[in-house]
Structure 1
């Protein structure tokens, strides 16, 4: 990631995907049954592994668009972050999530220089761990709440649906 090819930070509030179909990727978060989140994550992870093993994994399709490697590293971190947020929601009453600047993380952790094979392995581990966490949510916990630093309120159900949109959407981004 060089200064000559900056990625414009995504400052959209994507919580609208909880009420509407995403026209870019076609995903409708509200259609997701919470009990299927874990299985869906496990079904999608191999598509990222395939994208990360492509010959063009390090190549950006445009100077201001992340490469499959950068998206893969981001999704690995999304798996980790949402697993942590889920744990907070299950262990605490209405926790406030720490802010996460995904663009700063991409720059600081140099997503563009990471090894695609290592990222693929780490993504699978993180996907499985987060899928296991969602599989273990007790039936009476889906309505527990948590809040993002911008004030957006989630239930465990909507956190899972929102999270799954991110995973599906980035598969669309990497054409996998």
Structure 2
């Protein structure tokens, strides 16, 4: 089954509540993101422990395992970005094609337990990166190549929404 690519520009979640998951990213202080995401590996492990974790619920919708693999890779990408924004003035990031990453990473064939372990490791790493951001580091600017402007803080909020949203998608 082919997954329908997500072509939405999700940066609007930094300005308003997400009607799908109910999360308001702008209300999450960036300094609290590390502590919030440290609670997520247990939630993902419960989801990935389900007997149907590798089964797509319908045509064109990722399985819980595929969502978790996406979140794992999203955290890896954002870890690199958050490190770079602290080291380089106003870095520009190439857009990350999540659909291409899913194909290249063969998310559909991954073992749920392995993804749970890898996701916990990725969360631990990004949480440590977030913990290391100094006070004024949160306002350092960065951009995506499509022109979307972020700060380290809004990048952390945007990232948190992605995880919260996908936990919602898989009833986690």
TM above 0.5, one fold? yes
The answer to whether the Cα contact below 8 Å between 1:21 and 1:27 also exists between their aligned partners in 2 is yes
Root-mean-square deviation (Å): 0.8
TM-score by length of 1: 0.96
Aligned to 2:171: 175
From 23, 27, 32, give the equivalent of 2:23: 27
Is residue 90 of structure 2 the alignment partner of residue 90 of structure 1?
A: no
Aligned to 2:69: 73
The answer to whether the Cα contact below 8 Å between 1:37 and 1:135 also exists between their aligned partners in 2 is no
Aligned to 1:58: 54
The answer to whether the Cα contact below 8 Å between 1:89 and 1:95 also exists between their aligned partners in 2 is yes
The 3-state SS of whatever aligns with 2:127 is helix
Aligned to 1:137: 133
Q: Give the alignment of 1:106-121 within 5 angstroms.
A: 106-121=102-117
The answer to whether the Cα contact below 8 Å between 1:25 and 1:168 also exists between their aligned partners in 2 is yes
Gaps of 5+ in 2: none
Alpha-carbon deviation of 1:63? Answer: 1.1
The answer to whether the Cα contact below 8 Å between 2:54 and 2:111 also exists between their aligned partners in 1 is no
Aligned to 2:96: 100
Count of residues paired in the alignment = 172
